[in-house]
Amino acid sequence: MEKNSKIYIAGHRGMVGSAIHRYLIGKGFNNFLLRTSAELDLRNQLAVNNFFETEKPEYVFLAAAKVGGIISNNTYRADFIYENTMIQSNIIHASYVTKVNKLLFLGSSCIYPKLAPQPMSEDLLLTGPLEYTNEPYAIAKIAGIKMCDAYREQYGCNFISVMPTNLYGPNDNYDLQNAHVLPSLLRKFHEAKINNIPAVTVWGTGSPLREFLHADDLASASCFLMEKYDAAGLVNIGTGTDLTIAALASMIKEVVEYEGAIVYDHTKPDGTPRKLLDVSKLHDLGWKHTIELRDGITAVYNSYKLEN
Ligand code: GFB
């Protein structure tokens, strides 16, 4: 990518897209194509085709998606599969038609089988049944990976797929029903602290293991791969370490300086027991994360306090 290459970031107001935008601005890139969902409905093929024909982006970061935590994925099952397959199909196909130089598609670690051996390497894709709560989202993301590979094979398009682990960072969703665990717990502990509530409820058993990556690290890895990786298949993006939800809750409790108790709501689902990514492919390519979890949570909490 040249500094003045025309770069379309689909989903630039979301946590991932905004992190990629910030990262590229910091590196001196200056020619961005950005559209809000009100300006361009990515589920509408005609609108997407017109946009690509008119604007002719050179590079595309496909970070637009319908995302959410475990309850959101499980509740809005139709919306997750419909919106994600539409958005990515429209953008990938329009990128082929208008001869985009390179496209980077962002997936998710939930594409791997529910009971995959840990840590999960890229070759475990499609080797077993998926976790039920996020199956529609995972199927959409798997379709995206396979589309990128098919367009590469049939038409020679340079489309690559990257699979981030669970993410957190600026512009996250803090809606208690629909958000992911990390922002939800930050908000719950913060509100319990300022309102002197004696206990915070954590969903499930606390025993599932999760890996967390700061969105700024994801942006750095994505831009690194946009420059360096030109092959089929997928590349995992994570830290290579995980912790239990109970340990995460304790860490957030400490960062927030909340003095009360933690209780577990066993009526809520645990989801996949563990999903730790094998990041050796990414490390071998030359990239490693820089933001450790406690530091990242502290930074996010400091911003959250200022905004709430
Ligand atoms: O982050 P999360 O919603 O998504 O939940 P997944 C992770 C774990 O934290 C689950 C527990 O075991 C939850 O039961 N948890 C505890 C909570 N307290 C809370 C809470 O207050 N809110 C939430 N949300 N969880 C999603 C997938 O799976 O991860 C998506 O559904 C996507 O498709 C995303 O892959 C990254 O890690 O279970």
**181 CA from centroid of ligand 1 (Å):** 5
pLDDT at residue 297 in the model: 98
Q: How confident is the model at residue 19 (pLDDT cuts 50, 70, 90)?
A: very high
Closest Cα to atom 12, ligand 1: which residue? 270
CB 80 within 8 A of CB 107: no
pLDDT mean across residues, the chain: 97
Q: Give the DSSP letter of residue 130.
A: P
pLDDT above 70: percentage of residues in the chain: 100
* pLDDT above 90 (res 209): yes
Closest Cα to atom 7, ligand 1: which residue? 181
* pLDDT above 90 (res 199): yes
CB 90 within 8 A of CB 8: no
Q: How confident is the model at residue 90 (pLDDT cuts 50, 70, 90)?
A: very high
Q: CA-CA distances (angstroms) from residue 15 to 122, 140, 168, 173?
A: 24, 20, 8, 8
Number of neighbouring beta carbons within 10 Å of residue 263: 12
Q: How confident is the model at residue 308 (pLDDT cuts 50, 70, 90)?
A: confident
**43 CA from centroid of ligand 1 (Å):** 26
CB of 185 shorter than 6 A to ligand 1: yes
**264 CA from centroid of ligand 1 (Å):** 14
| C-alpha of 51 from chain center | 24
Q: What is the mean pLDDT of residues 37-66?
A: 98
Q: CA-CA distances (angstroms) from residue 142 to 23, 83, 130, 164?
A: 27, 14, 11, 13
Residue of 209, 204, 188, 205 whose CA lies nearest to 252: 188
Catalytic residue among 137, 229, 258, 301: 137
Using CA atoms, how far apart are residues 182 and 16, in angstroms rounded to an integer?
Answer: 15
CB of 90 shorter than 6 A to ligand 1: no
Active site residue 137: yes
* pLDDT above 90 (res 236): yes
Going along the chain from its start, the domains and CATH numbers come out as 7-171+212-240+276-291 (3.40.50.720)
